[in-house]
Amino acid sequence: MPAGTGYNPLLLGEAVRRMVSRGVERKYYRFRGGRWYGGISTADCVGCNLRCVFCWSREPREKPWLGKWRFYAPEEVYGRIRVIALKKGYTQLRISGNEPTLAWEHLLRVLELVEEDGLFTFILETNGIEIGADKSKARDLSKFTHVHVRVSLKGTSHEEFHKLTGAREEFYEYQLSALKNLADYGVPAHPAVMLSFSSEASYRSLLERLGEIDPRYVKDFEEEYVFLYPHVVENLRKAGLSPRVAYSPDEIPDELV
C-alpha cells in the first residue's frame, strides 16, 4: 500500500480532545461494574483517536460532539466508580469505552484521587499512541503507586495495524514506543494484543520485539480476540476482514471475564 495511507491518530486525537475535554472535565456516557479482571468498577468515556473496525463502542466514539454526553469533573468520576467498587467489593477501577489519555489533566487528577484514597488499583487501558508520542506522559504516570497500564496493540505488525484501524502504518511504532517509555520510567504495564487477524509468524515476530523492549512484556503478554457484536460483524464485512479466531458476546470464555 502507498506510504502514508490513512489518518494521523495524533491529529484526530487533538480534534476529539476539543470535543470531549473542557478544562479538567471530560465527557462520559456510563458508569458500571463488571467481571473483567475478576471484578472492576468502570467509567466509560467519550472519544477516541483510533477507528478500530472491531471496536464495541459506537456513538460515543463516532459522534463525540453530541450534547447528550455529559462533562464530569475528576472528583465526580472518582466518586461514582468508588461507590460502585465499594458496593460490589471490587479492588480495581478503570476508565474504558474509548481513549482515557486524550484528557490528560483530567486523567491525572483521577489518578491522584486513587492515590490519596489508597484503596484501589487503577487499570489504565490505552492504545498507547499519546504515551508513545510524548515520553513525559510516562514520567507523569511513574509518580503513582496504584496504577497499572494495559497497552492494547492493534495487531502484530504495521500492516495489521493499518487494516484494523485505518490509521497510517507508522503509528504502530507509537504503540511499541509507549511500552518502552513506560518500561524506562518503571511504570507497571503489559501489552494486550489483538490476535484475531494475525499469522503465527507475525505473532512470533512481535514477541521478539517485545522481548527486546522488556522481557516482562513477553511473560505478561495478554491475548485479545474479536467479539462478534452485530455492528462489529457489519464493520468487518465492509472492511473485507475475516477473523481467524472470534467469540460471540454470549460465549466469552471464563478466563476473559
- Please tell me the number of Cα atoms within 13 Å of 70 on its side-chain side: 9
Alpha-carbon span 226 to 164, nearest angstrom: 11
For residue range 152-196, what is the model confidence (pLDDT) as tens digits?
Answer: 999 999 999 999 999 999 999 999 999 999 999 999 999 999 999
Pick the CATH number of 9-256 from 2.40.30.10, 3.20.20.70, 3.40.50.280, 1.10.10.10: 3.20.20.70
Domain spans, the chain = 9-256
Neighbours of 179 (CB within 10 A): 25
pLDDT digit of tens for each residue in the chain (257 aa)?
A: 445 699 999 999 999 999 999 999 999 999 999 988 999 999 999 999 999 999 888 899 999 999 899 999 999 999 999 999 999 999 999 999 999 999 999 999 999 999 999 999 999 999 999 999 999 999 999 999 999 999 999 999 999 999 999 999 999 999 999 999 999 999 999 999 999 999 999 999 999 999 999 999 999 999 999 888 888 888 888 888 888 888 887 755 433 33
